[in-house]
A = this chain, B = another copy of it.
């Protein structure tokens, strides 16, 4: 009897993606820019958060944005209004960005002029976690209204990120959200995950986050 050949298509896709992610990493090293991947559920506040970060960093760094969006261009237009070079990836029915899309997007950004490239990933806590984009900082947002139990349900996302930004903390009085429970649940999965509670509405926590980010960018650009 002949040997049964089993091709794990998904693993092939992930392996291929890993190779392209390495190319992206090498490009970031050569061109000396800091690549930051931001993931979250739909509606966790990625766009609002990114716009706030851009306003705070604009004087010091030259920033570019890659916008992942299934259909619309509303977010990309908001970025352009801040006068930052923006590439919109319109990916139709797909549920995540992959490294090849990022490589393509980077070809369309003026990399020699940029220090930071921010990727706004598709709103989804599942598939984006599987695809290494070659980023220096893989990170995620979790909004208070989503609940403190999400690490139990989407463990891979919490495992692959280096920073967890907890958004909409001005809503804490309205929701049964236990920050300590979140910390315990995430620490089980990922000891290195740094947690930053913030509110775009009140500005609370943003100074601390920006200070960490600047330090991280400085360290990375030095290493590059």
Contacts and interface: CB of A to CB of B under 8 A. Distances in A.
A154 interface: yes
A66 to B, nearest CB: 16
Interface size class of A (residues with CB under 8 A): 35 or more
Contact of A145 (B9, B71, B94, B168): B168
A207 B21 CA distance: 51
Contact of A71 (B44, B94, B153): B153
Nearest to A150: B42
A153 B41 contact: no
Given A95-B95, A126-B124, A171-B145, A43 B156 contact: no
A15 to B, nearest CB: 15
Interface in A150-168: 150, 152-156, 168
Interface of A: 9, 41-44, 69-72, 74, 93-95, 122-127, 130, 143-147, 149-150, 152-156, 168, 170-171, 174
